[in-house]
Amino acid sequence: MHAQSFSRRGFLAAMAAAPAAAQAPAGGLKISIFSKHLHWAEWPEMAEVAKEAGFDAIDLTVRKGGHVLPERVAEDLPRAAAIVRKAGLEMAMITTDISDATTPHAETVLKTASSLGIHHYRFGGLRYKDQGNPAEQLRGFVPGMRELGALSARYKMHGMYHTHSGINQVGAPQWDLYTLFKEAGSPWLGYNYDIGHATVEGGFGGWLLSTRLVAPMMKGVALKDFRFVKGKGGEWRPQWCPMGEGMVNFQKFFALLKEQKFNGPLQLHYEYPLGGADTGQKKVTIDKPALIAVLRKDLEFTRSLLREIR
């Protein structure tokens, strides 16, 4: 890798803050790392780093620019899965470019994953137009969602729509995706609920209502934290940060997960500056020990939350 961007003081602080290992409690939820943050590594090193950091599983990118390209999924996903499992990790899920059943390679991706015993995949990417009634536009997505539900059922794959915050994002308000899934009527489709993005959109109390509303449809959960900062133009924007340092109320959120008996894939996302690892770059400016230390810190924070709700 390239020379790291951390200062020596920052690197030593990160190492000191991170435990030597982050062991999963017996019978607890399995925690995955989103492999986007390990795009700089080939499959064996990716698995090695995830294992050394203390993760239980990997959420593998099977999409353009990912660890496995969709057009090569039949050849490469079995090889990548074998390497991950040989390292003692689970392949809990895959993250895809799929938005509906007509997405190129969608059926091959689902068929291949299912044959390997991987039964959760992340999809999404639906957007509203800048003008027009959102409810009417939402109805236009229903046929495609029904077709994707049928395809998912065929291969016994649980499709998890990843929720984002931001303008024109389907799923940002939460109620819309809930309505869409209700109309589609497929038990194979549900949420990959991102509590960071949910808090951006409903920071004071809206996230509580949306969590309670969609909890029965949660098939996966993504974790990240943020704080609002004022940009150069004076506008307020979310800035991602290490878990526990921002606005997300993880304690209350995990209590709700326990109440709902959530048992799906739990993923950690590292969107704050990590020398390019945060944005999925192939070349990064942080060295491996420093990166592993940061990965462990958020992972141990998550483990502590899980211990509190046991």
Indicate whether 203 belongs to any domain. Answer: yes
* 71: CATH: 3.20.20.150
* Residue 5 confidence (pLDDT): 38
Alpha carbon separation from 223 to 6, 249, 289, 298, 299 (Å, rounded): 24, 11, 23, 10, 10
Indicate whether 204 belongs to any domain. Answer: yes
Question: With pLDDT > 70 as the criterion, what percentage of the chain qualifies?
Answer: 91
Question: Averaged over 173-194, what is the pLDDT?
Answer: 96
* Residue 28 confidence (pLDDT): 73
Indicate whether 160 belongs to any domain. Answer: yes
Over the Cα atoms of the chain, what is R_g?
A: 19
Tens of pLDDT along 194-230? 999 999 998 878 899 999 999 999 999 999 999 999 9
* Residue 40 confidence (pLDDT): 98
* Residue 243 confidence (pLDDT): 97
Confidence of residue 19 (pLDDT cuts 50, 70, 90): very low
User: What is the count of structural domains for the chain?
Assistant: 1
Confidence of residue 145 (pLDDT cuts 50, 70, 90): very high
Tens of pLDDT along 251-287? 999 999 999 999 999 999 999 999 999 999 999 999 9
Indicate whether 21 belongs to any domain. Answer: no
Identify which of 60-64, 169-173, 199-203 has the greatest average pLDDT. 60-64
* Residue 203 confidence (pLDDT): 82
* Residue 206 confidence (pLDDT): 87
The CA distance from 62 to 66, in Å, is 6
Indicate whether 19 belongs to any domain. Answer: no
* Residue 231 confidence (pLDDT): 87
Owning domain of residue 279: 8-14+29-308
Indicate whether 192 belongs to any domain. Answer: yes
